[in-house]
Amino acid sequence: MRTDPPPPGATTAAAGGAPGGGHGIRVRAGRGQVDVDWDPVPDAAGYLVHRADGDGPFQVVDHRGGDLLAVPGPPYADSTVEPGRTVRYAVRPVLDPDRPDDGPLGPASAPVSARDGGDAAVEVTVDVARPVGPLPRPWRDMIGSEHLSLLLCTDRVGGEEMGAGLAAALGRVHRELGVERVRAHGILGDDLGVYREVGGQPVHDFTGIDAVLDALAPTGLRPVLELSFVPRALARDPSREITAAGVSSPPRDWDRWAALVGDLIRHLRTRVGDAELRRWAVEVWNEPDLACFWTGTREDYLRMYDVTARAVRAACPGLPVGGPATAATKWIEPFLDHVDASGAPLDFLSTHVYGSPPLDLRPILERHGRADTPLLWTEWGPTPTHFAPVNDSVLSAAFVATGMQEAAGRVAALACWVASDHFEELGRPPALLHGGFGLLSVGNLAKPRFWALRMLEQLAPVQLTARLGGDGAGTLVRAWPSVDPDSGRVAVLLWNGTLDQGVLDRPDQRRRLGRTVRLRIDGLSAARYDLRHRRLDERTSNLAATARRLGVDGWPDAEQWAGLRAADALADAEPPVVVTPDDGCVWLPLDLPMPSLSLLELTPT
C-alpha cells in the first residue's frame, strides 16, 4: 500500500534526535482526525505517538486499547483529538518493549487542529498490471481458543452444549477462514488428569488429552500445544489457582516436570507419527510475566523454558518449540539473551498484544542473529478485556483488517483470540451479545471480526499495489487489492477504521470520520466483468444489529434463533451488476462510514 506524499499545506518538523537517524514528523489536519507521519528509525520495534495541547507537556496518545499503546510504524490517525483544539505531536521510538519510554522523544510538529466539518474524500487507484507477489495470510496459521478440554463439556449455555458449540466454531474457522491450527491453551491442566502420585511416585495418564484430540480431529485443525499449567500434585504451591483446571506455580521437582513433558511428546509421537507431529508445535507456558499466570520469578520461567524445550527436543527432534508467550510483548530481549547463553532450542518466538497492530520484532531478532526465526503472535485482539463492547463491534473488524495488513509478510502467525464465545476462564457467557472474545457467538453466528477475516480470505492469490490520496488516506481508509492471474478475478478490500476505541461512545465523531471513496482500477483486460460488493457496517452483516431488530434480550427464543441463523451471511451492499471497462479502467464510487468494510470483486464474464 502506498499513500500520496503530504500536500504543500502539511506541516513538518526537521529530522533529528533519534539513534541512527531522524524521525522527522509530518502532520496533516483532517475532518475529525490528525494524520501523523514520520521517518522510520533503524532498529525500532514500534513507536509511541505523543500529543501536547498548545505549549503543554507531551503525553502518549491513548487509543484505549488497554495494553501496549505503541504502533509498529507510520502513519497514524489520531481521532482522539477534539476538533478545533490546537495540538502538537512528537514520536518516541520503542527499541525494547520492556522499556518503551527509554527511546528519545523526537522533534515536535508544528501546531495543527483537526477540522470539524467539510468534505472528506479519498481516492484509491489500483493497477492490475502491477502485481507485488503472493498475498500473505497471517490469519491462517493459528486461532486462539479456550482450553480445549471444553470440547468434552456437556453443560449447556444458550441452549447448546458447550463442547459441541466450541467444536462447531473451530470447524467453521477452518472451513471458511482457512485456519490450520488451534492453540491448545492449558493442555496440562488437572481437568484432564495427566499427573498424580501414588506412593510418592509419578503416574502419567494421557487418556484425557487423547479424548480432547479425538474431539478436535473432526474440526480439521491441528493443535499448538501450550504446555501449561502445572498439575497440583507437582506444584511448588498448589494453592495458587488460575482456575479449577490450572495452577500458576512452578513445579517443585524439575526432573519430574521434564519427565511429564517428555512422556507426553513420546505418547503423541506414537499416536500420530513423526510426520504429523512435526506439523504441530509446542509453546512453553502462557503469559509468565503476569502474576495471575505465573507466581515464580522471571528466572524461574527461563529455567522452565530450558527444561521444557530440551525435554521436547529429546522426545521428538522435529517438533517445533518456542516461547516466551508473554503478554504485551514483554521479556523479548531478556528471553533471547537467555536462550543465546543457555543454548536451549528455540524454533519460533511467541508473544501477545492487544489493542494495537503487532510490533515489528524483526530488528530484535536480527540483533540476536536469529533473523530467520518465525514470529508467532499466539494471542491478539482489540482488547485484553472480557465482556468489553468492542469485541462485538464493527470497529473491531476494521481493527482486524488493519492488523493483518500491517503484519503481512513479517509474521508467521497472527492468531485472533478466540474462535468462540464458548469461553469460561473469565466467566461463562451470560447472553448472546456480552462482549465475549469469540469471533463466533454461542450458536456459531458470525460476529464482525469473523466477517473481516472472511473478507480477507476472499482476496485473490496475488496482491497488487494501491495508491491512496485524500483525507485519511492510508490512516483511516485502507485498501488491500489482489488478483487471480489464472481467472482474472480482481478482489479489493477497502475499510475505514481507527485504533481509537473511544469513538464507540462518540456518535458525532463517528459521523465526522465517515469518508467517500472513489476506487479506480486500471489494467483490466476483459471486456465485461461481474461486479459484486459485499459489506460490513453498523447495519449490514452485523450480528448486533440483527439481534436488535429481532428484539433479542439476553438469549434468543426459538423464533429469534431462526431469524439470526437466516441472517448469518456476508451481505451484498447492492445487487451484483455488469461493468464494462473504458480503456481497461473502471471507477467505483462508494461511501465508507466509520467503521465499515467493503469487499469489491470483479470477475470476467
What gap in Å lies between CA 8 and CA 10, rounded to an integer?
Answer: 6
Strands 156-157, 160-161: parallel, antiparallel or unpaired by DSSP? Answer: antiparallel
Answer with the one of 413, 438, 457 that is the final residue of a domain: 457
Are 149 and 200 part of one and the same domain?
yes
CA distances from 543 to 145, 380, 385 (A): 21, 22, 20
CA distances from 294 to 145, 221, 297, 417 (A): 20, 28, 8, 20
pLDDT digits (tens, 9 = 90+) for 568-592: 999 999 999 999 999 999 999 999 9
pTM over 0.85: yes
Mean pLDDT of the chain: 95
pLDDT > 70 fraction of the chain, expressed in percent and rounded = 96
Answer with the one of 411, 428, 457 that is the final residue of a domain: 457
Question: Is pLDDT above 70 for 13?
Answer: no
Classify residue 105: in a domain, yes or no: no
- Binned at pLDDT 50, 70 and 90, residue 20 comes out as very low
pLDDT digits (tens, 9 = 90+) for 321-340: 999 999 999 999 999 999 99
Classify residue 193: in a domain, yes or no: yes
Is residue 287 part of the annotated active site? The answer reads yes
Question: Is pLDDT above 50 for 8?
Answer: no
CATH number, domain containing residue 496: 2.60.40.1500
pLDDT digits (tens, 9 = 90+) for 223-253: 999 999 999 999 999 999 887 778 999 999 9
Q: How many CB atoms lie within 10 A of CB 368?
A: 17
Are 173 and 79 part of one and the same domain?
no
Are 271 and 408 part of one and the same domain?
yes
272, containing H or E segment: helix 254-272
Are 319 and 259 part of one and the same domain?
yes
pLDDT digits (tens, 9 = 90+) for 170-221: 999 999 999 999 999 999 999 999 999 999 999 999 999 999 999 999 999 9
Classify residue 398: in a domain, yes or no: yes
Classify residue 576: in a domain, yes or no: yes
- Binned at pLDDT 50, 70 and 90, residue 23 comes out as low
Domain count, the chain: 3
Are 163 and 246 part of one and the same domain?
yes
Are 442 and 472 part of one and the same domain?
no
Peptide bond into 321 cis (omega under 30): no
Range of the domain at 591: 121-135+459-604
pLDDT at 241: 87
- Binned at pLDDT 50, 70 and 90, residue 2 comes out as very low
Classify residue 234: in a domain, yes or no: yes
Q: Which is the catalytic residue, given 287, 379, 406, 601?
A: 287
Which grid cell is 446? 458470525
pLDDT > 90 fraction of the chain, expressed in percent and rounded = 93
